Structure 1
């Protein structure tokens, strides 16, 4: 429960860690938010400062990217704000849907690249130039 005392919230991560918004075995951020309880949504909005203008998914990405973890990873499905249709894997199943998601042609737009780069730079995650 996200409202219980825990060490898995971004403000508690150690520097020597990897922060990620999910793995191939999780639902996408959009699906999580769409299906979350009213209480979990309220907590996420308060904790991460989520708002409609930025977009709830991008706010969750920002929450991870702004952590002190040395590394941050988000799935492409989350950057693209895709829902359950883009889930990669259903653990413990032999579902024909496992590992079938593919990015569609044109997904890598300049607009998306600029948005990712801007956030990456804002939180000091760009590679330092020699």
Structure 2
């Protein structure tokens, strides 16, 4: 069981188009995908290098249990580390045994808060090589 690398970095914003323009036009990052939900454009993903993705997400207007960043609607949203899918339950047990309960999860990612309240993810999202295998 070990961290394999940084999977993605997500930044929340209430100015999705302006932030998208900055990362795409000013910094020259390559846009890889756009995610939509019932409210419209939810996130834009940019390729940073061969392994790291920067994700710019629309900030929610409100949240039932917001962190400081969510309350302000800007800044870093999550740092997600790549882990093996087969180690997911080992990670869950380890984190909970260390006093860091899972605060949210998706099919591929477990989320916990660090001691300062920042959201940290352990993600087994398949890489392109894994999806082709």
TM-score normalised by length of structure 1: 0.27
- Relative to its length, the structure with more strand (as a share) is 2
Higher relative contact order (CA 8 A, sep 6+): 1
